[in-house]
Structure 1
């Protein structure tokens, strides 16, 4: 299990916990404060995330969810205090929008040496009651650290980014990363996605930390994504069903 997760130190109180062996290459982030710690997403759920977190902090843990997709909530079952945006609360408490068979198909999409003891036949989508509902502009206090909640719909209706003004860190979930950005699912919205990119662009983050692939791409990628969306909108192409548009560091799937 220990070999499944890769721990990378961003600074002495901030860590990336990654699942590089899986094709999704998911990243979760642990932010340690004086009084509590914040865990941004919990990954695939194929190994015990709580054991890794416990090796990095003894603080009480608050889990926040960038969005309720299977590859970001898999380890939620190991934690008690879970927060989510209201637009996706029912995805946790009532019904996940994708059937289990579809989730398993994605999980097993490419060959992978899963952790010893993991059985894909027993894999389930997390369902549970969140302890906190997050809204745009909410502040999360970790003692001396202050994290702002930013509602960034587009990839999903309740997608959230998390911003720490003091360090300039922006945790972008699936809104920004070096790879294929998806806005073609029924629960996605390309126009909302574009507006969310413009919203985070205005923050001028010093560093960005996404949910997948390259751990800390150049923040200039936000400008490039904004330009791509804006051009597609100007050309009246920002509509679902228009296909994949490829750029140097990313592509947009509409």
Structure 2
């Protein structure tokens, strides 16, 4: 039985560079009736644990360490015993949220996470954050893009530790080469597809989005 994808939307605040914004985050669960992975434990550990619904939590994967994507990770890990996984290049952002706690495992491009007999391939896609990653599940025709790629363009790069040229390189060289029918499950907002976004790369570059 192939893994299935579930979405939970949680609400809270994103804080960086002295500013605070209200945000809705997509929390993605990938698994079956036995086990599951959580991608981006945002805002509400109790709601995420309820969505896990007693299944074995294989891991809490952080696409990056902005506070709105990790602020429920520690509580969820404490309640379930699941490890927190993060790319080490996002250590500086992680420590803004958790000064006294480290992630349990590191993520690197080329790593593979297996859940419910389904492979999630880790891609290191810096730009929005230094340690940003995307997860590609070929069997599901799905990409979990965090804040790297959205419906309508790249993630924001106007704040600390982000870079527009870097995110464009990540998207062009790693994401837009995937099959066009791959569904992109984003960190905020609605699902899109690689084919729906790829034709607009030059527009994004021109406007420095």
State the TM bucket, normalised to the shorter chain.
Answer: 0.7 to 0.9
Q: Mind listing any 5+ residue stretches in structure 2 that lack a counterpart?
A: 14-21
SS of the aligned residue for 1:166 comes to: helix
- Mean alpha-carbon deviation: is it higher for 69-78 or for 27-36? 27-36
1:72 aligns with 2:69: yes
By percentage of residues, which structure has more strand?
2
Q: Is the 8 A contact 1:27 1:210 kept in 2?
A: yes
Once residues 231 and 90 of structure 1 are traced to their aligned partners in structure 2, the CA distance between those partners, rounded to angstroms, is 30
CA–CA separation in structure 2 for the residues paired with 1:153 and 1:225? 20
Residue 31 of structure 1 aligns to a residue in which SS? strand
What is the SS of the residue equivalent to 1:162? strand
2:142: which partner in 1? 169
- Structure 1 residue aligned with 2:49: 51
Whether the 8 Å CA contact 2:36–2:52 is kept in 1: the answer is: no
For residue 213 of structure 1, the aligned residue among 185, 189, 193 is 189
Q: In the alignment, is the contact (CA less than 8 A) between 1:140 and 1:146 conserved in 2?
A: yes
Of 83, 86, 89, 2:88 maps to 86
Question: Which residue in the other structure is 1:16 paired with?
Answer: 7
Q: What displacement does 1:213 show?
A: 1.5
Q: Report if aligned partners of 1:149, 1:160 keep a CA contact under 8 Å in 2.
A: yes
Q: Is the 8 A contact 2:58 2:115 kept in 1?
A: no
| Counterparts of 2:182 and 2:131, CA distance in 1 | 24
1:80-101 alpha-carbon deviations (Å, 9 max, x no partner): 4100001013433xx31xxxxx
Distance 1:225 1:75 in 2: 34
- Whose radius of gyration is greater, 1 or 2? 1
Unaligned 5+ segments in structure 1 are: 1-10, 97-124, 233-237, 239-251
> What is the rounded CA distance, in whole Å, between the counterparts of 2:12 and 2:86 in structure 1?
27
1:66-215 mapped onto 2 (5 Å cutoff): 66-77=63-74, 78-79=76-77, 80-92=82-94, 95-96=95-96, 125-127=97-99, 128-178=101-151, 181-198=155-172, 199-204=174-179, 206-214=182-190
* 1:137 Cα deviation after fit: 0.9
| TM-score when normalising by structure 2 | 0.80
Cα distance change, pair 136–220 in 1 and its aligned pair in 2 (3 A): same
- Measured against aligned partners, the alpha-carbon deviations of 1:145-167 in whole angstroms (never above 9, x if no partner) come to 10000111010100010000112
Partner of 2:18: none
Work out the number of aligned pairs and report it: 191
Query: Is contact 1:65–1:83 with CA below 8 Å preserved after alignment?
Result: yes
